[in-house]
Structure 1
Amino acid sequence: MRARIEDDILFLHHEDVPPYKKGGSVVRNSYFWALKAIAGRASRGRDWEYEPEVWFALNRMLLSFAESGYLGLSETQLEFLPDTGEIPDVLRSVSTWL
């Protein structure tokens, strides 16, 4: 998922966040609700926002869903642009550069 950090807020690109689908996969819908539950802001059509206080929980959640094998790497890995600067330590295990 494309990600960026601005003013200590982590933003996930809204097009990369897995959508909720009524009658869809239980794993994907659970993933959607878990991501939404810890987001500071998660509006339709806007990038989702996460404060530093939840980054540790986000890291654990992304690792857990990645290890389940039900979701692809592109859905459970944060992708930062090279000009982002340094990736915070707490997010490094679930992050890569685009």
Structure 2
Amino acid sequence: MRAKIEDMVLYLHKEDVPEFKKGGSVVRNSYFWALRSIAGQAYRNRDWEYESEVWIALSRMLLSFSESRYLGLSETILEFPRSQEQIPDVLRSVSTWE
């Protein structure tokens, strides 16, 4: 998922966040609700926002869903642009550079 950090807020690109699909996969819908539940802002057609206070929870959640192997790495890894100065330690295990 494309991500960026501005003013200690993590933004997930609106096109990369999971979608809720009625009658869809239980795992994917659970993933949607789990990510949405800790987001500061999670509006349709806008980037989702995560304050630094929830980054440890986000990291653990992404690791858990990644280890389940029901979702692909592109859905559970944060992809930061090369212009991002550095990736915070708490997010490093679930992050990469684009």
Q: Secondary structure at the match of 1:67?
A: helix
> Aligned residue for 2:53?
53
> Aligned residue for 2:74?
74
> Aligned residue for 1:91?
91
Paired amino acid for 1:21: K
Q: Compute the displacement of 1:54 (Å).
A: 0.2
Q: Compute the displacement of 1:38 (Å).
A: 0.1
Q: Secondary structure at the match of 1:84?
A: coil
What runs of 5+ residues in structure 2 fail to find an aligned partner? none
Distance in 2 (CA, whole Å) between partners of 1:72 and 1:20 is 17
Q: Among the aligned pairs, what percent are the same residue?
A: 74
TM-score w.r.t. the length of structure 1 is 0.99
Distance in 2 (CA, whole Å) between partners of 1:38 and 1:28 is 16
Q: Secondary structure at the match of 1:79?
A: strand
Distance in 2 (CA, whole Å) between partners of 1:91 and 1:72 is 18
Q: Secondary structure at the match of 2:93?
A: helix
Q: Secondary structure at the match of 2:83?
A: helix
What runs of 5+ residues in structure 1 fail to find an aligned partner? none
> Aligned residue for 2:31?
31
Q: Secondary structure at the match of 1:96?
A: strand
Distance in 2 (CA, whole Å) between partners of 1:11 and 1:24 is 25
> Aligned residue for 2:12?
12
CA RMSD of aligned residues (A): 0.3
Which is helix-richer, 1 or 2? 1
**How many residues are aligned here?**
98
Distance in 2 (CA, whole Å) between partners of 1:3 and 1:55 is 13
> Aligned residue for 2:2?
2
Paired amino acid for 1:92: R
